[in-house]
Amino acid sequence: MATAARTAPVDKRRVILDAAVRVFGRQGFHHCRVSDVADEAGVAYGLVYHYFNSKEEILNTLFLERWEIMLEAITEIDERDLPVRDKLYSIAGFIIDSYRHDPDLMKVIIVEVTRAANSFGAAHLDKISEAYERIAAILEPARADGSLKSGIPAEFAAMCFYGAIEQLLTGWIFGLLPTTDEEFERAKGLVVEAICGGLESTPAASA
């Protein structure tokens, strides 16, 4: 296993992308220079432009790479034969684990793209809303079969669900919520319980 290549075949493009995640996450897209990314990656300034046409393209690449994975994950989850609540738990779990695994990347995606309505958010509107639509697609059949309230439109419910999760991520990003593994795990169940079961205690539940 240690018999890898003498000289590790580093993919400089990948190195630059990974460095950009750290730099964008630390300083923010607008508050860092391309040279910061190059320095962090340990490559020459110009190499960044050898692989990317602009600073923006780096961010776009990071976003699209990760967002596509999430969209596929949602689709894959939808195809499973599970109750809605379990599907939503899986989605919440995927997103939260994504953050746990690479908080900087998720921070960049959320702060610089998803929530940046004036700049990159607008540019990737289609991709972003595709996530809401796929979640809504999970909810819709459940409304039909009576397991979800028919009075709440699926698109609306999807927004609430996703919004709650993103708010939790924001809480972790901002340091407002504790970031232990237990908390992450607990959050998965709580957010689903809050959204699906509601905050209010029910007579049956209290019984």
Partner DNA sequence: GATGAATGAGCGTTCATTCAT
Partner DNA sequence: AATGAATGAACGCTCATTCAT
List contacts with its own copies (CB under 8 A). Answer: 25, 27-31, 85, 107, 110-112, 115-119, 121-122, 125, 128-129, 132, 139, 146-153, 155-157, 159-168, 170-171, 173-177, 187, 190-191, 193-206
Angle, CA of 54, 31 and 166, to the nearest 5°:
90
Q: Mark the segment that binds DNA (CB under 7 A) among 29-37, 69-77, 90-98, 120-128.
A: 29-37
Q: Which of 18, 22, 26, 34 binds DNA (CB under 7 A)?
A: 34
CB of 143 to DNA, least distance (A): 46
Which residues touch 43 (CB under 8 Å, ≥6 apart)? Answer: 12, 15, 16
Residue 6 or 44: which CB sits closer to its own copies? 44
Residue 29 or 67: which CB sits closer to DNA? 29
Question: Cα-Cα-Cα-Cα dihedral of 120, 21, 88, 78, to 10°?
Answer: 80
Element (H, E) at 60: helix 55-79
Q: Mark the segment that binds DNA (CB under 7 A) among 51-59, 88-96, 99-107, 151-159.
A: 51-59
Instruction: Count other Cβ atoms within 10 Å, centred on residue 207.
Output: 5
CB of 22 to its own copies, least distance (A): 13
With CB under 5 to 8 Å by kind, the binding choice for 46 among DNA, its own copies, none is DNA
C-alpha–C-alpha distance, residues 199 and 83, integer Å = 20
With CB under 5 to 8 Å by kind, the binding choice for 51 among DNA, its own copies, none is DNA
Q: Mark the segment that binds DNA (CB under 7 A) among 26-34, 94-102, 144-152, 193-201.
A: 26-34
Kindly list the distances between the CA atom of residue 115 and the CA atoms of 3, 12, 32, 77, 161, in Å, as whole numbers in the listed order: 45, 29, 19, 25, 16
Q: Which of 14, 28, 54, 163 binds DNA (CB under 7 A)?
A: 54
CB of 27 to DNA, least distance (A): 10
Angle, CA of 110, 92 and 104, to the nearest 5°:
35
**Following DSSP, what letter does each residue of 98-122 receive, concatenated?**
HHHH-HHHHHHIIIIIIT-TTTHHH
**Site residues for DNA per CB under 7 A:** 7, 12, 31-35, 43-47, 49-51, 53-56
